[in-house]
Chain A
Amino acid sequence: SAVISQKPSRDICQRGTSLTIQCQVDSQVTMMFWYRQQPGQSLTLIATANQGSEATYESGFVIDKFPISRPNLTFSTLTVSNMSPEDSSIYLCSVDISGTDTQYFGPGTRLTVL
């Protein structure tokens, strides 16, 4: 299994500002994922982050809005840029542990944009 931590756990932000969310894993992993869970909705994949390469974004998500960094095999950041109230969601990172086919999730970051 994997132990994943996220910072911050929650935040309240003003419209037009940006927030960077950190994700730390206790072991080296090849792939890290960022998901969004809007109120009352299911999880939707934002992007996949591989160390040493550009993140791969899903349809409807763009790098200018959600820039991602992946500086090493245990850490990633997601920035939510130029926020609007529609960005209010829980943002979760996850990892895929090689050989297990199981994805493990962090505790999430609850973002409220006023």
Chain B
Amino acid sequence: KQEVTQIPAALSVPEGENLVLNCSFTDSAIYNLQWFRQDPGKGLTSLLLIQSSQREQTSGRLNASLDKSSGRSTLYIAASQPGDSATYLCAVRPPGSEKLVFGKGTKLTVNP
């Protein structure tokens, strides 16, 4: 059974700092991995999607990497801003399935 773990559960950093969020999964057989952002009381916003054949994806100040063999992904946020404060969720999609398996998320606070 696929399990997804995100460390740390919470992270507080000063504005301007570069930071890394971690995601690990127990079964390396995945179709893709997706990073989401969730603001308090809101739905999920898709940030980056990495296919199983890819190593990384970039969007603006965000860079996500994937090491499928070791069951790890990282989300790198450059020059963090207070507006980046949110919970970041990692989700993997098993092969042959549309279902997503989520981690519990990392709650990020960027202090001005």
Chain B residues whose C-beta falls within 8 Å of the C-beta of A100 in the assembled complex = 49
Contacts A92-B44, A107-B42; is A45 near B99 (CB within 8 Å)? yes
Interface flag for A110 (CB, 8 Å): yes
Query: Which bucket holds chain B's interface residue count?
Result: 20 to 34
Contacts A31-B98, A101-B49; is A42 near B105 (CB within 8 Å)? yes
Interface flag for A105 (CB, 8 Å): yes
Interface flag for A75 (CB, 8 Å): no
Chain A residues whose C-beta falls within 8 Å of the C-beta of B44 in the assembled complex = 43, 92, 94, 105
Q: Contact check, A96 vs B98: say whether CB atoms are below 8 A apart.
A: yes
How far apart are the CA atoms of A44 and B1 in the complex, in Å? 14
Interface flag for B103 (CB, 8 Å): yes
Contacts A42-B104, A45-B100; is A108 near B42 (CB within 8 Å)? yes
Interface flag for A33 (CB, 8 Å): yes
Q: Contact check, B32 vs A101: say whether CB atoms are below 8 A apart.
A: yes
Q: Contact check, B102 vs A104: say whether CB atoms are below 8 A apart.
A: no
Complex interface residues of chain A between 72 and 114 (CB less than 8 A to chain B) = 90, 92, 94, 96, 100-108, 110
- Where chain A touches its partner, the secondary structure class is strand
Give how many A residues have a beta carbon under 8 Å from the other chain's beta carbons: 26
How close is B45's CB to chain A, nearest CB, in angstroms?
8
Q: Contact check, A104 vs B49: say whether CB atoms are below 8 A apart.
A: no
Chain B residues whose C-beta falls within 8 Å of the C-beta of A102 in the assembled complex = 34, 46, 49
How far apart are the CA atoms of A42 and B88 in the complex, in Å? 11
Chain B residues whose C-beta falls within 8 Å of the C-beta of A110 in the assembled complex = 41
Chain A residues whose C-beta falls within 8 Å of the C-beta of B93 in the assembled complex = 101
29 contacts between A and B (CB under 8 A): A4-B43, A33-B98, A40-B104, A41-B104, A42-B4, A42-B89, A42-B103, A42-B104, A42-B105, A43-B44, A43-B91, A43-B102, A45-B99, A48-B98, A58-B99, A92-B43, A92-B44, A100-B49, A102-B46, A102-B49, A103-B46, A103-B100, A105-B36, A105-B43, A105-B44, A105-B45, A105-B46, A107-B42, A108-B41
